Chains A and B, each alone.
Chain A
Amino acid sequence: MKKRVLLVEDEPNIIEAITFLLSREGWHVDTQKDGATAVKRVRELQPDLLMLDHMLPGKSGLDILKELRSDDQFKSLPILMLTARGQMRDRAEAEAAGVSRFMTKPFSNTEVLAAVRDLMRN
């Protein structure tokens, strides 16, 4: 059975790129553009990995992260956060909220794939 990843991202071309990369690696990729319903989607889909943008319409990536981590069910869900803001404070906040991995855009494809493999190994 394929591993499932939920990609929460509002930028169409970035969705396209990540979907291409992870599909090639054998992932099943679900996408979600709206921040407001993202948590609900995670509950429905029960993905093996969550990729989360920082700035989303409806609800910020940081708030989604916090909400998931407050639920015991998602305490150990690997969450990879991608942000275009790339400020030190954002990283610190995300790490304090329990993010598994934090990366800034633009990313290198090999780095993202390595991070995903790394997260899955643990």
Chain B
Amino acid sequence: MASINLLIAVCLIYVTFLFLVAFAAERAAAQGRGNWLRSPLVYTLSLSIYCTAWTFYGAVGYAARSGMEFVTIYLGPSLVMIGWWWFLRKLVRVGRTQRVTSVADLISSRYGKSNVLAIVVTVMAVIGVTPYIALQLQSVTLSLSIFSDPTGTTDGGMNLVSAGFWVALGLALFTVLFGTRNLNANERHNGVVIAIAVEAVVKLVALLAVGIFVVWGVAGGLSDMMIRIDNSEIGEWQVDGSRWTALTVLSGAAFLCLPRMFQVLVVENDDERHLHIASWAFPIYLMMMSLFVVPIAVVGLDLLPENSNPDLFVLTVPLSQGQGGLAILSFLGGFSSATSMVIVATLALSTMVSNHVVMPIWLSFQGQGATVSGDVRNVVIFARRVSILVIIALGYLYYRVSGGSGALAAIGLISFIGVAQFLPAMIGGIFWRGGTRVGALTGLLVGFAIWIYTSLLPSFGPDVVLSSTLLEQGPFGIGWLRPQALFGIKGIDPTVHAVLWSLLLNTSGFILGSLISFPKPLERLQGAQFVNVFAHSGHAHGWSGSAAQSEDLMVMAQRILGGPEAQKLFRREAQNQGHDRYLPEPTPDFLQRVEREMSASVGAATAHAMISQLVGGASVSVQDLMAVADESAQMLEYSNQLEAKSSELLDTARQLRDVNAKLTQISVQKDAFLSQISHELRTPMTSIRSFSEILRDGNELKPTEQTKYASIIHVEAIRLTRLLDDLLDLSVLENGQVSLNSARGTLADVIGHAVTTTQAGAAKSIKIDMSGLDPEIELHTDLDRLAQVFINLISNAQKYCKSSEPELSISALKTENVICVFFTDNGLPIPIETHALIFEKFSRINDQDGSGAGLGLAICREIMVRLGGGIDYVTFEGGNRFEVRIPN
């Protein structure tokens, strides 16, 4: 009979041994001699933290209570390792390329680096794992108690509560010492992993030793053992298909989702190829662990009193046979199982808590005071240590509150269901690009709420948290809301019930939420990086050394801030730090400054995520960050281009509309013009044709008639010619093809020439008064064109001045810049409403006899514009006045 003191001494020696192993491993790793530390064997053994005290002690108890069902707990992970090899490989690749530090990090990082999601997962993990930690404390204290009361029927003579406390404290210290000795950039813990591997060997050896002793030492060989098993009630247990399925799925899911499993499986993984070996080696380990479970259970049931605790058969069977040494070995096996689980679980949880809860809060708090300095890394380590203590304290508290009640396996299953809620978001995140943050959050919260309601709260027993009436009749008497019979589905096992509803609604929530929500750019980006990890992850190396960090930071900052801006920032910082080098040390202060600068370009959340990832331990490699920066820069540029293009298109469309409107207007004008031209040409042609036909056919024409009609033809032909001349003239003027021949001359000469020309062949005469004309005024312009304008004005006056004594006075005024010539007649003023029209083509205002085509004034206007002057009609009492302006 081993004394309790001896046991404690053995424990201390064992822990010291582990400590030394871990220490040596860390030393070896630090000195670069640690290749053997990262062998596939160590990796496989480290996976054995799946087998906790629950598996070590509890599996036998489970078998004693429920027969072969305990196999499902081993079956799930084995199926995952063998059958889901491709999934694990992808998970590990994602974890390595994205520098994922935990389940929370994986899910948050996949769904757009959402801090909310990280916090939710962290909280869920802590709540889900706390019962599990309590379970380990319970098993260690229970096993200790056995040595003071070997029958295991009572709690024994020693103070279990204080024992639990000391165990918890010891575990906390070990975890703090090894888990947070320093802050490794890659979140790997060589010492811890090697210690776990040693413990894995110890627990396997212990269980096998007890098994061998039971089969060959107690039962008397294999065949006798088989007979005993056949005779025991274990062989007669009915297999419940739904429970088997649910438990296998559940243990497989938990294997992937448990924070500690993720830690060893993904985070501590050093080489993807190790998975290849572990995929068959780990199932073998599990098989060996389960090999003697049934024999021990059967023998225990045979040998020990009715009321002994089957969870402790592994210890009590050797003890009852007086095998103290074997019992101590067995105790060490259980102790190893419990400690390795607690250490890795708290390590994983503390990483989550410090990275996703404490650090964001601390950093944002720091952001308030601009000049607060301090080493962030110390804060991180401190946060982790506190987290470890708090998490273990929570486990201890749960243990105290639940009073160590309940079978080990039941508590373990509750934890399993809790963490299995991560699975939809995990699988969806890796395989479905359509998964969004909203979907993941919805699924997680729904699944978790159902877990708490259907599994966690009822686990405390009736009337502890949930009243027994609520359990039996549902809240407010609503039957279909009963925690263990949701939606009126009764009669299924509570575990199956909880697994079914929580995972079903979780998955539905995830898918529906993802389908109805719209992912942010970063979610899309991360989705692509995760789902297409095999295409993206050509470069999965971390960064080392502070100089490299600065350079990488510089490169990243340049990509976001732009070259000159970033260089200025870095040079200034380097000068402040007293370096004459270009690159400053990446102090926390400086990182914050860079983040602030970057947040202006990429938004606060992303900048914060980038910097905090750098600070918090490179969960994302610099290359990945640069990829993100690059892609967001490209997206920005692309969207800018699109924006520019669309405004360009709008512009072009507007121009096209304008041009189209102008063309339509021009087309209307053209039609009107052609119609006018047609009329002007056809009218003289009509007379010509008609009279020429008359002359041709007319034999009875008088000679006077013949002469008259021939002269009409003549006049109309001239009119036609003049019209064509005018049209051509106007066309040339309007097209700007006219060449001007500037010459010097006096105004008086030009007017004199115009008057002579008009009076030559005029039918009517008009008196012309040129007394107001200064003969000295000189001109330098195209004199012929100017004369054309004057001729037009004079002949118009001649034709249209309806006065008894028609008179036209021509005067001129010379100023510094311009010479104004006025043509004033005493005829009827033209109606005021037609003033605006007189310079338009074919506007025959006063043309009663219809001899003009209405092009004269249009031509005059064009000429004056070409000469750099102008022509206007001026309202004048008792007549009409035209003002011609010639530049001086």
A residues at B contact (CB < 8 Å)? 10-14, 16-18, 20-21, 55, 57, 84-87, 104-110
Q: Does B685 contact A (CB under 8 A)?
A: yes
Q: Does B697 contact A (CB under 8 A)?
A: yes
A10 touches B682 (CB 8 A): no
Q: Mark B672-710, 1 if CB is under 8 A from A, else 0.
A: 000100110011011111110110010000000000000
Give every chain B residue within 8 A of A86 (Cβ-Cβ): 678, 682
A15 CB to nearest B CB, Å: 10
Give every chain A residue within 8 A of B848 (Cβ-Cβ): 57
Give every chain B residue within 8 A of A12 (Cβ-Cβ): 849-850
> Given the interface contacts A13-B716, A17-B691, does A55 sit within 8 Å of B686 by beta carbon?
no
A2 CB to nearest B CB, Å: 19
Residues 714-752 (chain B) with a chain A CB within 8 angstroms: 715-716
> Given the interface contacts A17-B691, A106-B688, A107-B689, does A84 sit within 8 Å of B712 by beta carbon?
no
B850 touches A11 (CB 8 A): yes
A69 to B320, CA, bound (A): 134
Residues 231-249 (chain B) with a chain A CB within 8 angstroms: none
Give every chain B residue within 8 A of A16 (Cβ-Cβ): 687, 712
A109 touches B678 (CB 8 A): no
B619 CB to nearest A CB, Å: 80
Most B-side CB within 10 Å, residue of A10, A108, A109: A109
A7 CB to nearest B CB, Å: 13
B679 touches A85 (CB 8 A): yes
B712 touches A13 (CB 8 A): yes
A107 touches B690 (CB 8 A): yes
Partner of B685, one of A18, A87, A106: A106
B678 touches A11 (CB 8 A): no
> Given the interface contacts A21-B694, A108-B689, A109-B697, does A85 sit within 8 Å of B678 by beta carbon?
yes
B693 touches A84 (CB 8 A): no
Closest to B716 in A: A13
Closest to B701 in A: A20
A17 touches B690 (CB 8 A): yes
A103 CB to nearest B CB, Å: 10
A20 touches B686 (CB 8 A): no
Give every chain A residue within 8 A of B849 (Cβ-Cβ): 12
Partner of B686, one of A10, A11, A87, A110: A11
Closest to B675 in A: A85
Give every chain A residue within 8 A of B693 (Cβ-Cβ): 108-110
B690 touches A106 (CB 8 A): yes
Chosen A-B contacts, 17 in total, with CB atoms closer than 8 Å, are A11-B683, A11-B687, A11-B850, A12-B849, A13-B687, A13-B716, A14-B683, A14-B686, A17-B686, A17-B687, A84-B686, A105-B683, A106-B685, A106-B690, A107-B686, A109-B690, A110-B693
B414 CB to nearest A CB, Å: 92
B705 CB to nearest A CB, Å: 8
A87 touches B690 (CB 8 A): no
Give every chain B residue within 8 A of A105 (Cβ-Cβ): 682-683, 685-686
Known: A14-B690, A57-B848, A106-B690. 10 other contacts (CB 8 A): A10-B850, A12-B849, A16-B687, A17-B687, A18-B690, A84-B679, A104-B682, A105-B685, A108-B693, A109-B693
> Given the interface contacts A11-B850, A13-B687, A85-B675, does A106 sit within 8 Å of B694 by beta carbon?
no
Partner of A109, one of B675, B679, B682, B694: B694
> Given the interface contacts A10-B850, A12-B849, A109-B697, does A84 sit within 8 Å of B682 by beta carbon?
yes
Closest to A15 in B: B687
Give every chain B residue within 8 A of A104 (Cβ-Cβ): 682
A5 CB to nearest B CB, Å: 16
B597 CB to nearest A CB, Å: 72
Closest to B697 in A: A109
Closest to B684 in A: A13
List the 3 closest A-B pairs by CB distance, nearest first.
A84-B682, A17-B690, A13-B687
Give every chain A residue within 8 A of B689 (Cβ-Cβ): 106-108
A108 to B690, CA, bound (A): 7
Closest to A12 in B: B849
A11 CB to nearest B CB, Å: 6
Partner of A84, one of B683, B690, B694, B715: B683
A30 CB to nearest B CB, Å: 19
A59 CB to nearest B CB, Å: 15
Closest to B683 in A: A84
Most B-side CB within 10 Å, residue of A14, A106, A108: A106
Give every chain A residue within 8 A of B688 (Cβ-Cβ): 106
B699 CB to nearest A CB, Å: 12
A85 to B680, CA, bound (A): 9
A18 to B694, CA, bound (A): 10
Partner of B682, one of A17, A21, A106, A108: A106
A11 to B803, CA, bound (A): 23
A110 to B685, CA, bound (A): 16
A19 to B849, CA, bound (A): 18
A13 to B679, CA, bound (A): 15
A105 to B685, CA, bound (A): 8
A70 to B690, CA, bound (A): 33
B683 touches A87 (CB 8 A): no
Residues 834-864 (chain B) with a chain A CB within 8 angstroms: 848-850
A57 to B846, CA, bound (A): 10
A105 to B687, CA, bound (A): 9
A4 CB to nearest B CB, Å: 21
B675 touches A87 (CB 8 A): yes
Q: Mark B357-372, 1 if CB is under 8 A from A, else 0.
A: 0000000000000000
A20 touches B694 (CB 8 A): yes
A114 CB to nearest B CB, Å: 13
Closest to A112 in B: B690
A55 to B850, CA, bound (A): 11
Closest to B674 in A: A87
Give every chain A residue within 8 A of B691 (Cβ-Cβ): 13, 17
A40 CB to nearest B CB, Å: 20
Give every chain A residue within 8 A of B716 (Cβ-Cβ): 13
B369 CB to nearest A CB, Å: 84
Closest to B687 in A: A13
Give every chain B residue within 8 A of A84 (Cβ-Cβ): 678-679, 682-683, 686
Residues 178-194 (chain B) with a chain A CB within 8 angstroms: none
Give every chain B residue within 8 A of A57 (Cβ-Cβ): 848
A10 to B686, CA, bound (A): 13
A105 to B679, CA, bound (A): 9
B694 touches A17 (CB 8 A): yes
Most B-side CB within 10 Å, residue of A13, A21, A104, A110: A13
B697 CB to nearest A CB, Å: 7
A104 to B690, CA, bound (A): 13
A109 to B689, CA, bound (A): 8
B328 CB to nearest A CB, Å: 118
Give every chain B residue within 8 A of A87 (Cβ-Cβ): 675, 678
Most A-side CB within 10 Å, residue of B688, B691, B715: B691
Give every chain A residue within 8 A of B694 (Cβ-Cβ): 17, 20-21, 109
A110 to B712, CA, bound (A): 20
A102 CB to nearest B CB, Å: 14
A47 to B595, CA, bound (A): 101
A106 touches B675 (CB 8 A): no
B140 CB to nearest A CB, Å: 107
Closest to B696 in A: A109
Give every chain B residue within 8 A of A18 (Cβ-Cβ): 690
A107 to B682, CA, bound (A): 10
